[in-house]
Chain A
Amino acid sequence: MAAYSGSIHVNGICRAGNCGGGDAVAYGASISSPFNFNYTVNSDVYNISGSYAAAYDTNGTSISVDLSATYLGLHPTATNDTFAIDVLQQYFDDSPGTWDGTYTETIPITMSSNVGAGSTVTAQLLYDGQSVGLMGPFGPGSHFAQQSANLSGLTGDYLNADYQFVYTFGAGTEPGAEVSLVSSVPEPGQTLPLALAGIAFVGYRWIRARRGRLAA
């Protein structure tokens, strides 16, 4: 795929963002933008909306995508609808060296229950064509996935990131069916310590109350 930057492509065609190329994020810079458009596949209309952001700073490169795909038709779909969404972002650094190292991708995905049978979504983040790892396919429900990979051979002044999502809405998908990058499944890394703290707090209060009753 061409080296577009800060742009959203559906089945290889630029639909939003900076479709003219350029706009690479240099060191110390960041970029963000909302998007909202409709896409038709097999005469079925889907709304694609959300926002993306990218930055390059002392912590390295980062990209984030909020994305929802919603079936807008008035009747259930008659065929399987498949399309790929690529969120492209380019980073620029002309200092000597490479971009090699550990890359991480994280997705929370929720697929509504009114999608047709066989509906799936997959996601992967690629840097200069190298995948951090394929996540999915995921079906209806809420899912959370995270992968890391050591990538090498990333030379040159430009690094091309491609966050790729492949959707398949099965035949029978009902109006309003949606796949979004939002999950009710909490990130375990954040929830576990808080849950333990909550249990410890309640236990502490209970022991104190019990001691108070015994002393009385």
Chain B
Amino acid sequence: MDPRAARPVGGVRAAIGAAVRSNYKRNFEGGIVKSEMKKNVNEPEMTELGQERRELVRKMGKFAVYAAPFTLIAMTNKASAATGATGSGPRKHR
């Protein structure tokens, strides 16, 4: 018997590789960070919890994008509030 047949390494490696690629694709598209990807490597299917997490991250990202301009306005208001009384006039001229 061929000794290589007793250890179907290639098949397992291929399966793991496919799972990693699949997970990477899902995670990348879902916007999950790398540390989360490691946890999902051996999961054949995304769990319900994982999907909820992805949804939460997506919603948080969306919220951040919408909140950005208003944060900018608030910062500008704060900056203008610190101005104090000001006065200005022309330079001496002929």
Q: List residues of A whose CB falls within 8 A of some B CB.
A: 27, 50, 56-67, 93, 95-108, 123, 125, 127, 132, 151, 159, 161, 163, 165, 181-184, 186-187, 190-191, 194-195, 197-198, 201-202, 205
Residue in contact with B87 in the complex, picked from A59, A105, A186, CB distance below 8 Å: A105
Interface of B is mostly: mixed
Question: Roughly how many angstroms separate A163 CA and B86 CA in the complex, as a whole number?
Answer: 9
**Minimal beta-carbon separation of B94 from chain A (angstroms):** 4
Cβ contacts under 8 Å, A50 to chain B: 84
Q: How far is the CA of A175 from the CA of B32 in the complex (A)?
A: 54
Q: Contact between B72 and A101 (Cβ–Cβ < 8 Å)?
A: no
Question: In the complex the two chains form, is B69's CB within 8 Å of A67's CB?
Answer: no
A60 close to B70 (CB less than 8 A): no
Taking the nearest CB of chain A, how far is it from the CB of B12, in angstroms?
A: 38
Interfacial chain B residues near A151, Cβ < 8 Å: 89
Q: Is there an interface contact between A202 and B69, defined as CB atoms closer than 8 Å?
A: yes
List of B residues within 8 angstroms of A127 by Cβ = 89
Kindly list chain A residues whose C-beta atoms are within 8 Å of the C-beta of B88: 59-63, 103-104
* Pick from B85, B86, B87, B92: contact of A95, CB under 8 Å: B92
Could you tell me the distance between the alpha carbons of A106 and B83 in the complex, rounded to whole angstroms?
Answer: 10
| Beta-carbon contact of A65 and B84 below 8 Å | yes
Give chain B residues whose Cβ lies under 8 Å from the Cβ of A93: 91-92
8 contacts between A and B (CB under 8 A): A63-B87, A64-B87, A66-B84, A103-B89, A103-B90, A107-B85, A184-B77, A191-B76
Contact A60–B90 (Cβ < 8 Å)? yes
Residues of B within 8 A of A61 (CB): 88-91
Chain B: residues with Cβ within 8 Å of the partner, total of 23
* A59 CA / B93 CA spacing, docked (Å): 12
Given contacts A67-B84, A182-B82, A205-B66, 19 further A-B contacts (CB under 8 A): A50-B84, A57-B91, A59-B91, A60-B88, A60-B91, A63-B88, A93-B91, A99-B92, A101-B90, A102-B90, A103-B88, A123-B85, A132-B87, A151-B89, A186-B80, A187-B83, A190-B77, A197-B69, A198-B69
Chain A residues near B91: list those with CB within 8 A: 27, 56-61, 93
B49 on the interface (CB 8 Å rule)? no
Q: Within the complex, which residue of B65, B70, B83, B89 is in contact with A108, where a contact is CB–CB below 8 Å? A: B83
* Residues of chain B lying within 8 A (CB to CB) of residue A186: 76-77, 80-81
* Bound-state Cα–Cα, A100 to B82, Å: 30
Q: Is B73 on the interface with A (CB-CB < 8 A)?
A: yes
Chain A residue at minimal CB-CB distance from B66 = A202
Bound CA–CA A5/B76 (angstroms): 32
Q: Which among A107, A187, A201, A205 is the interface contact of B80 at CB below 8 angstroms? A: A187
- A-B pairs with the 6 shortest C-beta distances? A101-B90, A198-B69, A66-B84, A186-B77, A97-B94, A93-B92
Collect the chain A residues with CB atoms within 8 Å of residue B86's CB: 62-65, 105-107
